[in-house]
Structure 1
Amino acid sequence: MEMFSTSTHAAVGLLALACVTLIASHLFSPLRSIPGPLTARFTRLWFFYRVWQGGFEKENTALHRKHGDVVRYAPGHYSFNSPEAVSAIYGKGKELDKSSWYEAWNAPGFKTLFTEPSIKVHGQLRRKFQSTYSMSSLLTYEAYADHCTALLISKLEAIAKSHGRADMALWLLCYAADTVAMISYSRRMGFLDQGADVDDFFKDLHGNLFYNTTMGIYAWIHPMIFNTTAFLARWGLIKGSPRMSLARFTTNVISKRRVERAGGEKGQTIPKEADDETAPKDFLSKFLDSNERDPSQFTERDIIVGLIGNVIAGADTTASALSAILYQLLKNPTVLSKLRDEIDTNARAGRLSVPPTFKEVQSMPYLQAIIQEAQRLHPAAGLPLQRVVPEGGADIAGYTFPAGTVVGVNPFVLHSNSRIFGDDATSFRPERWLDPDKEKVSYMQRHNMAFGLGSRTCIGRNISMLEMSKLVPELVRNFDFELDDELKGECAGWKWINYWLMRPVSLPVKIRMRVVQ
């Protein structure tokens, strides 16, 4: 009994000491004047709960509106909303390493382009893949995008001629996922064929996003949970993660392709009519070429990681942007009318093919402005892009932050900053990107975080732009869409969910075939 009492007293004493130390560290911190929620000064629970609710971008925006350019959202974690902070954190030659939050996005000890914390190591990894994502390589992927565009158009035509209603958020996700799979493997995963979530892939992927986003806040727990779930999945006691199922799919495709290559076959299905040396190569073929040239530099793991990353990173991001474009067009009929004029004028002049080429759509300024503006108001990421202050500290936005402090800018917050995007920063106005003042446009572009900033800019941004630029004209010139009643009106809210990646819950519309005079 006496031993139990002594142990209890010791535990209480240690807890009290920890609390006193925590409070003292805050009271004597040079950053104690930075505002934020009271509980966020002492615990990450405030941040965890708001992220768990799926709408942290709104909380983050409200904090900055109330307190200004710098706010605290967890102990040692600070969010910024100023051009100066963007330069200090992500600027060329100043970029900071990523925080431990990213560790929950992969297997323990395993790093990818997205999760690698070190700027230097990230640069080395990126160079392995850079050429396959370059603008020159992009044109070889058009046939794959055209294939999926034609299939989506045919599916929407059938809907327009029957019941005329569809959830475009789902259809655009099916399109983006199958297109990036085609570009990666020359194979669709079947989403467009069924117009549905095949084998609950999207459901599992979104569940994984929830886990990664929330668990990153307490990343030190991740290895234990990951290893336990991997063990249970190996024995069939629980379902594996979508990354695991995609890894199995990928390794099977790689094995089949190696057999085909050994037999002299190209192993590609698109385009069927181009059975010659000029036929486009998918990512798998290009990765295998790199591996065969130098297996020590481009490993089997590089092949698998690159292909899986394409599908996981390229599906929801592009689909969400496409949903945002369509929604904003339907909410802003004047913009839609101007885009249709641009599309019809180019088509009549023979400058817009069916399907359009990427070169053609790049020469349509209003279309490109719409894509930029939709991504500005609906960026892919809805949390601060966390970076760690290095040894020696850093001066950011008038404060000196010690080494180890986590700092970051939330794209959703920054994109509504009137000092960068004007007094109407919260409004959808594509014309801002066509302003004759080139310096003003350049300044906005330097603070556009739709694809990230600096050397960590999304490596797949060209592919995403290819898909969006080619699909939107086809949707606009073939169909008349109308928002469902629940999304009409000034006060109607469009529901998004934010687990780092911001995605629409749904986009219900009515569809009719467009009659062109």
Structure 2
Amino acid sequence: MMPRLWLDSQAATSAAVLLGLATLLFAISLYRRWQRLAHIPGPLLASLTNFWAAIKIWRGEMYHEFIQDLHAKYGPVVRFGPNRVSFSQPEAVAEIYGTNHVYPKAASYGPMIVLANGQEIASIITLRDEKRVSEVKRHISAGFSHSTWLQQEDQINSTINILLEQLSSRAGTTVPLNTWLSFWSFDTLTNLAFSDTRGFLESGKDLDSIFPSSRARFAHWRTWSALPWLETLLYKNKYAQTSQKTSNPLATLAMQRIKERKSGEKNATGRDLLGRYLAASQQAPDVIAPKDVLALTISTIHAGSETTALFSSFLLTHLLKEHQVLAKLEDELQNASVAVPPAFNEIDKLPYLDAVIHEGLRLQTNPNCTERTVSPHNADICGTVIPAGTDVSISEVLTARDKTLYGSDAESFRPERWLDVDKARKAEMIRAAFAFAYGRRVCTGQHLAMIEVKKLIASLIISFKFKPVDVGMRGYDGALRLIKLDVRLTPKN
């Protein structure tokens, strides 16, 4: 009996030693995770694990909401993860997103990558290799220039005309305008991309269930942005890649159009977006492979159509609440004596329309976390030392409402704030809101978005009087703001 007791005692001692060593190593690991950013305030639990932020998101909190609370409690620089730091100063925009030292996008963008035909399709938005981003942009940037989009202005006009016809035919009834703006935005993007619309406006329907799928992608990003490694493990493992054939209806549509174009089933003038992507792929196949053409097509339509529609609804919601603003805009458009749809060059320089758009962009900020990884060396951001490898970000909701920059009424919709400033001040205000991002990763579609929105808003204001029926914000669907915009329309002419 003695040997067995001795062996049992020895085994128990060994197990206790191993457990103690494991506990010590775990404690050292936790301490190191905490210590590297110990000089930055924030919740203790958040400094130890990203599950702190993930659980908040899974419970329904929006990123910008709990980040605002953290900044209110801890100050302008906050730690909200073992390796994540948020800034609230407008001055930090240029330091984090500027071109003097380009920081790559963080791993939190990984959940935005879609699967198509079992392959991960990384878009220009989700690419993290800055050298690769520069190479791709060098071959496609000309296709996103202001002058290039104006060459396709007639295609934007055609979808605006269809929208106006559909709305006119429903005059006197309650119209879910936000839904019709989604139809318009999607048909406009497909018209620009493929030289034909998907027919959402004509049918008054989301024929392919594009919108639920598109919004699900944004929601997926929000859900897993704090734990990208877990998203990869669950959704992009070898089984998922081999069993999944198509990712969503938009990917299916894009693949169909690319196949038709390559086979010659559908000819194009060469002016559309897909034609430009295919031409770039032929010129530089080592930079833009066939799967990159698919990724670029999907991301352009996905990002461009949904955001433009939501912003237009958001802007109209404010205009219908601010009667004086709407009246001023109506007067400016009437005095300009422009056609419907107006030529962009006729309305681009209208000061009040421009101010209205910028004020909308300021308040309709991105609620998500747009992180960059500090590299290759440590950084000094607004006086705070940030170790290399740290993910840093800015809450646009805070910088876009900075009272020092925008005034004591920064929470209010007041376009006049953009009219009484010089060019330098206006540039500073635009940068702090960074509605189209900033620096090298600035949104490639910003010129198109401004053309679309100015032409659309001007056309609607010139053509109709609006009577609100059920108008307002309805929270968020995943990462996108929900807007109710039920109105009764009366044609002005």
Alignment match, 2:181: 172
Is 1:25 equivalent to 2:32 in the alignment?
yes
DSSP-derived class of the 1:114 partner? coil
C-alpha distance in structure 2 between counterparts of 1:216 and 1:11, whole Å: 35
DSSP-derived class of the 1:496 partner? strand
Q: Is the 8 A contact 1:104 1:219 kept in 2?
A: yes
Is 1:158 equivalent to 2:169 in the alignment?
yes
How do residues 436-475 of structure 1 correspond to structure 2 at under 5 angstroms? Answer: 436-475=421-460
DSSP-derived class of the 2:126 partner? coil
Deviation at 1:370, TM superposition (A): 0.7
Deviation at 1:50, TM superposition (A): 2.8
Please identify, of 5-14 and 63-72, the stretch whose mean Cα deviation from structure 2 is larger: 5-14
Give 2:271's match in structure 1, choosing from 262, 271, 281. 281
> Aligned pair in 2 of structure 1 residues 17, 306: CA closer, same or farther (>3 Å)?
same
How do residues 353-502 of structure 1 correspond to structure 2 at under 5 angstroms? Answer: 353-379=339-365, 381-485=366-470, 487=472, 494-497=473-476, 499=478, 501=479
> Aligned pair in 2 of structure 1 residues 25, 338: CA closer, same or farther (>3 Å)?
same
Q: Is the 8 A contact 1:56 1:498 kept in 2?
A: no
> Aligned pair in 2 of structure 1 residues 11, 452: CA closer, same or farther (>3 Å)?
farther
TM score, norm. by length of structure 2? 0.89
- Indicate the RMSD between aligned Cα atoms, in angstroms: 2.7
- Show CA shifts across 1:174-200 (max 9, x none): 211111111001122232233333332
Q: Is the 8 A contact 1:165 1:508 kept in 2?
A: no
- Matched residues, number: 479
Alignment match, 1:57: 64
Gaps of 5+ in 1: 235-239, 269-279, 488-493
Alignment match, 1:345: 335
- Show CA shifts across 1:204-227 (max 9, x none): 221222222322322223333224
Alignment match, 2:320: 330
Identical aligned pairs, as a percentage?
29
Is 1:267 equivalent to 2:273 in the alignment?
no
Deviation at 1:427, TM superposition (A): 1.1
Alignment match, 1:42: 48
> Aligned pair in 2 of structure 1 residues 221, 191: CA closer, same or farther (>3 Å)?
same
> Aligned pair in 2 of structure 1 residues 230, 339: CA closer, same or farther (>3 Å)?
same
Alignment match, 2:236: 226
Give 2:106's match in structure 1, choosing from 71, 95, 99. 99
Alignment match, 2:141: 130
Deviation at 1:115, TM superposition (A): 1.4
DSSP-derived class of the 1:50 partner? helix
Deviation at 1:64, TM superposition (A): 1.7
- Show CA shifts across 1:61-88 (max 9, x none): 2222232211122122111011332222
How do residues 176-325 of structure 1 correspond to structure 2 at under 5 angstroms? Answer: 176-224=185-233, 225-227=235-237, 228-234=239-245, 240-242=246-248, 245-260=249-264, 266-267=267-268, 281-325=271-315
Alignment match, 1:515: 492
C-alpha distance in structure 2 between counterparts of 1:54 and 1:307, whole Å: 32
Gaps of 5+ in 2: 1-6
TM score, norm. by length of structure 1? 0.85
DSSP-derived class of the 2:170 partner? helix
DSSP-derived class of the 1:48 partner? helix
> Aligned pair in 2 of structure 1 residues 201, 13: CA closer, same or farther (>3 Å)?
farther
Alignment match, 2:83: 76
AA of the residue aligned to 1:377: L
